[in-house]
Chains A and B, each alone.
Chain A
Amino acid sequence: MDAVLEMTNIQKKFGTGHTEVDALTDVNFSINAGQFVSIVGPSGSGKSTFLTIAGGLQRQTSGEILINHTDISKLNEKKRTQIRFDQLGFILQSSNLIPFLKVSEQFALVEKLAKKSLQERVDMLLKSLDIENLKAKYPKELSGGERQRVAIARALCNDPSVILADEPTASLDSKHAFEVVKILAREAHDQNKAIIMVTHDERMTKWSDQVYQIEDGRLSLAE
């Protein structure tokens, strides 16, 4: 199968001289459309660095990263921003929702920025995530679980190839956390999306197609 995100020999160093730190060492990773992959590691292991590089938010020291066969580290900031908008979706720890927009307006903003109608897709997502009744509510009026479901819909609405989820269950109790992870797995399979979830909670990995662990900046497949 075709890899939508492919990372080869990624190194990331911070600082110089005796303060130099290897955040990522020799990372090789690839994910196909329709796959749900978890990356587990304790804090400080390099999870966040991995996500920021995969998401084109910072550049690796060496190595290659391809999103749909384009090496994003070679693009300028403007093009990377455009790729993040068109091809990547982010689901963040607490929420990536805008506090002063109602749920329906969160999607309206994406429509305005994308300059196209996403109405059908948004309706389908809201229905599939069972959050149609939340349209007129502000994020602060939602429960943690509802908020993450809206965030998932927000990440998916522009039809990206890759979804990067940064500890999406961190602020949820385990019941809602499991529910969110199950939704992520389902959306990956149903919508043929590549979803990468980074978490420190190993219980969350049982619905993943593949589980990696990351420790001291080295990524390996978990047994």
Chain B
Amino acid sequence: MFLAWKEMRYAKLRYALIIGIMILVAYVVFMLSGLASGLANGHKKAISDWGSSTIVLSADSNKVASASVLKRADLNRAKTANTNKAAVGLFATAAQKSGSKTKTNVAIFGAQKRSFVVPKIIKGRLYQNAHEIIISKNLSDEGYHIGDQIKLASMTHKFKIVGITKATTYSVEPVIYLNLDAFTTLKYGSQPFSSASQKPISLIAIKHKTPKQVTVTTGTSDTKVAKMSTATLIQNLPGFSAEKITLNTMIDFLFIVVAAIVGIFLYVMTLQKTVLFGVLKAQGVRTRYLVGTIVSQSFIVGAAGVILAFILGYLTSLILPEAMPFTIDGMQWLSDGLILILVSIVGGLFSIRTVTKVDPINAIGGE
């Protein structure tokens, strides 16, 4: 470390430049990572908020929640405690406040008011009938308030906002919760159903410590169902995997770029020092110590770049526009940061062979 530090102090400009490049690349990694987390959250947050372990969809939905149709009666087929299962209706539409011309796209979840999927109310109260709804904080930020009457889809009657939950999104839209009857009329209008238990829902969410133990019975006349983990459902949300893979590929590529940049820089620095390394080796300094110096330098470059980019990324997140889906996932940033430091050390390792090959004999008699 001693030689590593002293050289960096002496050649300030060079090392400042390489750290500068490291900051820029790490910054891009953090921004992409934040964007990936933000977008992923935008798609899935409402669902991951449920804390469910298992989701049951109709088999022909191909794991796409919005394509799934079950009946309320199907809830009984899931063998688990009543408090741990919930029938959920899912619908996407536009909301419009009375007296306003602007419409806002929203994701609508229908659920019984006591079911575990209904988020906590932070203001107001829970809906008590099919004419009351609760909205997420991010929708209320767009000018929707408790007491407002709003129009949903093409319904003629109005819904009254009675409560606000914390901010959440589904398919990158703010969320409205209402009861199952409201959901049925919203999605199916005045279509008649033979009984309440025949009314359609989209999916069943189940919360269980050992998801494998949850079984869904299938009688001969029953709709075929597909049981999957909540994570699988999320992976299959439209656009979710495509966005994630795209951004993650960019990030992975940047890791390779970092290894290459740091590697080339330290390699050039090493080539410039071959005479010096020869002298040091002649003086009895071990190759291991010299290699250690280069590895320390690649670590310092990596760590300094990552820490400064971390700060820069955080400051940027404070001034990003609200519309940009950006979330700082601490664990994700930490692991990205560690990988960045690791790959810059890998870059430093490129020079080991050169250092090993320096022959101390060149220190004598050479110019």
Contact = CB atoms under 8 A, between A and B. Distances in A.
Interface of A: 47-48, 51-52, 55, 57-58, 78, 81-86, 88-90, 92-94, 96, 98-101, 105, 108-109, 112-113, 138, 166
Contact of B279 (A78, A92, A109, A112): A92
A52 B361 contact: yes
Interface string B1-29: 01100110111000000000000000000
Contacts of B9: 100
Contacts of A92: 279, 282, 363-364
Contacts of A52: 361, 364-365
A193 to B, nearest CB: 16
A167 to B, nearest CB: 8
B280 A98 contact: yes
Interface string B342-367: 00000000000000000111011111
Contact of B6 (A51, A96, A101): A101
Contacts of B366: 93
A90 B282 contact: yes
B234 to A, nearest CB: 53
Contacts of A96: 279, 282-283, 363
Given A57-B360, A85-B284, A101-B3, 12 more contacts: A51-B365, A52-B361, A57-B364, A81-B281, A82-B284, A92-B363, A93-B367, A94-B367, A99-B276, A100-B7, A113-B285, A166-B364
A10 B189 CA distance: 106
B289 interface: yes
Contacts of B281: 81
Contacts of A86: 284
Q: Is the interface of B mostly helix, strand, loop or mixed?
A: helix
Contact of A98 (B276, B284, B361, B365): B276
A48 B284 contact: no
Nearest to A94: B367
Contacts of B279: 90, 92, 96
B121 to A, nearest CB: 64
A48 B364 contact: yes
B1 to A, nearest CB: 9
B80 to A, nearest CB: 65
